[in-house]
Structure 1
């Protein structure tokens, strides 16, 4: 009997030096669907996909393609079966052209020489299938991240892939680039290509996926149609407890106004912003992408040199023209781009923690490695940073632990006001919950938090009050008891302008 599955896993298990990475994984993926593979970091998703792609061998179990058992021992085996995987870290050669990358190690030849004409022509045909109008002769190094992502997809299509695995494909894309990718995924689906979509972004999963499988701790938890579940149920499957337990109980006491911002503006995105922040408060900034949320808080922090306006700290005017000034006035800023702006990934955890205020690691006027280690170890313990030691290079940590290192860096500066810009972007559900606990604990300690987030659940679950922005202005202010997704979206889409 035809199950309708193009791909089936039956009882797949895998161990590494006595550690069980996968245990009896069984589920199927139907032809021509977009199938979400979900689970927090360490759930076993990558291990399973590496078995499918031939990078790892399974210990037990069967893989079936079109109902027939197949033996995948090498990446070439998976390619022959029409399986292609696009990793988060793109696997392209920057110094080569688009066409060369698409047909790498398969370049057409004529009389023993590379047939450039045919290769470029074939590349154009492949690019047409994903609606990409670009010269096959341009170098990969000249392309944006989104364009490189498309070249990886083109490469998969050129291999006549029937099953394409996409691992966090939108992690480095803008909103517009993500929409373009979704259009391409829709086109591939119409062509009968099956996709396995791995992402931490639940809004994307519900937008483009047809079905799902959730894994947890190397085991199968649930599979089904995406229409039969909601976000709360998916998160419950992923973390093993209900959504109602994801956000910690609030223990903060809101005090007097600690900061006032008056008539803040810049040349473009920020247009006359006025708001206040209270001691111990979690103040949210919500709104659609492009509303000016990040730009507003960067202006407050002194990152935007063009910004004009007045900032008062504890009732006194604060002259903030640079991040250094902001730090002096007790502000910290955890940026949206943690790798590009928050961390120096090639340095150690310790170096990152002490860099914003190295004088905290000084003894008698000299930098003390011993003191720096003591400081760093305290933050590793307090923030539960998972790292072999304080000397570990930051780039080798998971996204959630990198985020904790950035937070430790700012806590080392002793700020009273902490601005968090998309603090949980690109990290798994369990790491998100740890960040939520930290935000709640910091507010309970009397720290004032400004939270910028595109995730409605975070805004509703964490904030005491929310400024909703639309086109560079605060369109509405909502108190904790008023917070609903509908009211936030009403202001975020300019609804107040019609009132």
Structure 2
């Protein structure tokens, strides 16, 4: 490593009275992966927007290859060789993968698009990252994980000098994440400077060479990853040591509140049977595509092709719509909070009251007073950090957005809460707050289904963990018997998974419909 490829010196950014960045210094060398670490609201997104030309620098200097640069817009930043792959994909769904990769810079032959050359070159980039779909495939036919691979392919196709990876693995399976590590290392070996933003410490230590920690808009620590520990990074991020991120769960499971029997779907899952008890956290773990989320959608009446028996509090439930499940006391916090859980352009108050408008209205008239009372109660109960109830949801950090989505459903006083990837894309401090909230929910008598790809979450929080693989319920572990290697073996099918606990039914792979 020689001179800096990219450097920031004394960079400031203000939004009115908010001082988002306070004299930040950053240095990125060619052939290096720099982990940019910090809690939500620390200034990471503001820094990325500066680098990509979305917002200007108020004070300080930005240099690329030793030359001071300013970018009037995102196109100027891309032309200089700085590209970003974001967590939330924005694509043209009716266009092909190749068209999305080369959007705005189509390969031309005279006045016409050179389709064969563009498709061939796009296919070569896709093969480089191990994608299992063709360049001519329409984006609307891709999964969320596959769309992230298209974003990565777009950056690779432009031979960027600096690549910013902003939570790029959030929607990828374990196998795809391992492949992605190889892609990052390949970029580094080619002399590209990579800024890697993630909340997952295992990813930081797997691919990064150095780290820079932001807290409240200030750079509070940097150094070599080889000399750092997870505990040190957490302390720098939060400004305090977090010795125990997972709270003790004091509740003891009581009577059965949900009994699921032979829940099946023609293509997604088969013969799921389990019970959920009052005051219990029941974990669901599995790799991407295991059918966990699809099963939860069926319980909420959002998967009409599903069959099977549901009994809630002793009463049979025929959930043909979400309204049926909600009336039975079931709430569902979806995985994609910004697309399915909340409305970013609505205020905090309107998001919290959205699921229960009937409770605040008389005929066609909405009671503003009752709506405001619920909102204030939920803000206090969940400790939501917002300037006011009228603040737009888009103005909150990821962790507080998640709290608002959870508050929306808790306002209905449910008996059963399904949490699908509740800590996806939020930082360690926000995770701790969500874990504390889950503990409080079950201590108050609610029953929680926790669907998570984060193995430590289900191991530390769940009273029991059900493991799914390829649509099948393959094992169940009590908390005392939940060992990481056993759970992963069951989820992946590698080696021999241990015998499930006696309460867990055993399913054979032949039971799945072809």
After TM superposition, the score normalised by the length of structure 1 is 0.81
Which shifted more, 37-46 or 381-390?
381-390
CA distance in 2, matches of 1:365, 1:206: 56
The answer (yes or no) to whether the contact 1:37–1:196 under 8 Å persists in 2 is yes
CA distance in 2, matches of 1:238, 1:254: 35
Residues 132-169 of structure 1: per-residue CA shift (max 9 Å, x gap): 79999999889887777667666656765311223333
CA distance in 1, matches of 2:78, 2:265: 52
The answer (yes or no) to whether the contact 1:102–1:154 under 8 Å persists in 2 is no
Structure 1 match to 2:276: 277
CA distance in 2, matches of 1:412, 1:224: 45
Structure 1 match to 2:27: 28
CA distance in 2, matches of 1:294, 1:144: 14
Change (3 A) 1:465 1:117: closer
Counterparts in 2 of 1:177-216, with a 5 A limit? 184-216=183-215
Structure 1 match to 2:376: 377
Query: SS of the residue aligned with 2:268?
Result: coil
Counterparts in 2 of 1:294-309, with a 5 A limit? 294-309=293-308
Which shifted more, 138-147 or 242-251?
138-147
Counterparts in 2 of 1:379-398, with a 5 A limit? 379-398=378-397
Which shifted more, 369-378 or 359-368?
359-368
CA distance in 2, matches of 1:142, 1:277: 35
Change (3 A) 1:17 1:329: closer
Structure 1 match to 2:355: 356
Change (3 A) 1:5 1:485: farther
CA distance in 2, matches of 1:18, 1:347: 23
Which shifted more, 217-226 or 8-17?
8-17
Aligned match for 1:72, one of 70, 73, 90: 70
CA distance in 1, matches of 2:394, 2:79: 34
CA distance in 2, matches of 1:191, 1:79: 18
Post-superposition shift, 1:39? 0.9
Change (3 A) 1:463 1:243: farther
Which shifted more, 168-177 or 282-291?
168-177
Post-superposition shift, 1:447? 0.9
Post-superposition shift, 1:31? 1.7
Counterparts in 2 of 1:90-169, with a 5 A limit? 102=102, 104=104, 115-116=111-112, 128=124, 131=127, 161-169=160-168
Residues 160-206 of structure 1: per-residue CA shift (max 9 Å, x gap): 53112233334566667666655544443332212112223444434
Change (3 A) 1:180 1:115: farther
The answer (yes or no) to whether the contact 2:11–2:57 under 8 Å persists in 1 is no
Change (3 A) 1:56 1:402: same
Residues 211-261 of structure 1: per-residue CA shift (max 9 Å, x gap): 322222222233344444454443333223344332223332432332222
Query: SS of the residue aligned with 1:468?
Result: strand
CA distance in 2, matches of 1:265, 1:316: 20
Structure 2 match to 1:246: 245
Residues 238-287 of structure 1: per-residue CA shift (max 9 Å, x gap): 22334433222333243233222233332233332222222111121122
Change (3 A) 1:120 1:9: farther
Post-superposition shift, 1:439? 0.8
Post-superposition shift, 1:78? 5.2
Change (3 A) 1:482 1:157: closer
CA distance in 1, matches of 2:430, 2:95: 38
The answer (yes or no) to whether the contact 2:30–2:193 under 8 Å persists in 1 is yes
CA distance in 2, matches of 1:77, 1:496: 54
Query: How many corresponding residue pairs?
Result: 492
Which shifted more, 310-319 or 462-471?
310-319
The answer (yes or no) to whether the contact 1:286–1:452 under 8 Å persists in 2 is yes
Counterparts in 2 of 1:448-463, with a 5 A limit? 448-463=447-462
Query: SS of the residue aligned with 1:255?
Result: coil
* Structure 1 position 59 matched with structure 2 position 76: no
CA distance in 2, matches of 1:319, 1:56: 55
CA distance in 1, matches of 2:303, 2:273: 17
The answer (yes or no) to whether the contact 1:51–1:58 under 8 Å persists in 2 is no
CA distance in 2, matches of 1:294, 1:87: 23
Change (3 A) 1:260 1:9: same
Query: SS of the residue aligned with 2:45?
Result: helix
CA distance in 2, matches of 1:320, 1:439: 25
Query: SS of the residue aligned with 2:448?
Result: strand
Post-superposition shift, 1:452? 0.8
Change (3 A) 1:343 1:176: farther
Change (3 A) 1:157 1:420: closer
Change (3 A) 1:242 1:412: same
The answer (yes or no) to whether the contact 2:33–2:207 under 8 Å persists in 1 is yes
The answer (yes or no) to whether the contact 1:39–1:214 under 8 Å persists in 2 is yes
RMSD: 3.9
Which shifted more, 470-479 or 176-185?
176-185
CA distance in 2, matches of 1:138, 1:491: 33
